[in-house]
Amino acid sequence: MESYNAETFRTHGLEMNFVQDNLSFSRAGVLRGLHFQKPPYEQGKLVKVIVGEALDVAVDVRKGSPTFGQHFKVVLSGEKQNMLYLPPGFAHGFLAIKDTYLFYKCTQVYNGAYDSGIIFNDAELNIDWESDEPIMSEKDKNLQSFAAYKSSIGM
């Protein structure tokens, strides 16, 4: 199976340089996110579930974007081998529906000093995660609100 082909992406207007690959494992019911890196370390991500199934969510956090604050979600699965590309400037999160290995290619290296996020259940974003009681890390439980994020970028 060919999982990535730069030429195929280029023919669709997506030209990027991936510099880091990550693999994470999450048990069923674990929710991670919504994570992003602040400028100048924004990451584009090509996300794919290798094994398992996850509800994957992207939120546009690009100031001035016509889709700012809007979200998109899709179920990614190892069975379907589908994937999602998130351009730089999108917050990313996922809920593991089954035990899941999630693989993602990044256009920028991780930089902890620029790591940020928005709380998954922010009322303004109104994302239906299709789970009443997700399992979460303390870090993810304490992420900022969307209103706090907007204030931090002068909105």
Q: Token pair for residue 104?
A: 């993602």
CA distances in angstroms from 11 to 19, 86, 116, 123, listed in the order given? 20, 17, 32, 38
Peptide bond into 34 cis (omega under 30): yes
Write out the H or E segment, with its range, that includes residue 141: helix 138-141
**Overall CATH class of domain 6-152:** mainly beta
Residue ranges of the domains in the chain? 6-152
pLDDT at 1 (0 to 100):
76
Q: What is the structure's pLDDT at 76?
A: 98
pLDDT tens string 1-24:
788 888 988 998 888 899 999 999
Any catalytic annotation for residue 35? yes
For the chain, residues with pLDDT lower than 50 are none
> Any catalytic annotation for residue 104?
yes
Determine the pLDDT at residue 42.
96
Kindly name the residue from 35, 85, 92, 149 that is annotated as catalytic.
35
Q: Give the pLDDT of residue 43.
A: 96
Point out the catalytic residue in the list 41, 85, 101, 104: 104
| Averaged pLDDT score across all residues of the chain | 95
The HSE-up count of residue 8 (CA atoms within 13 Å, CB side) is 4
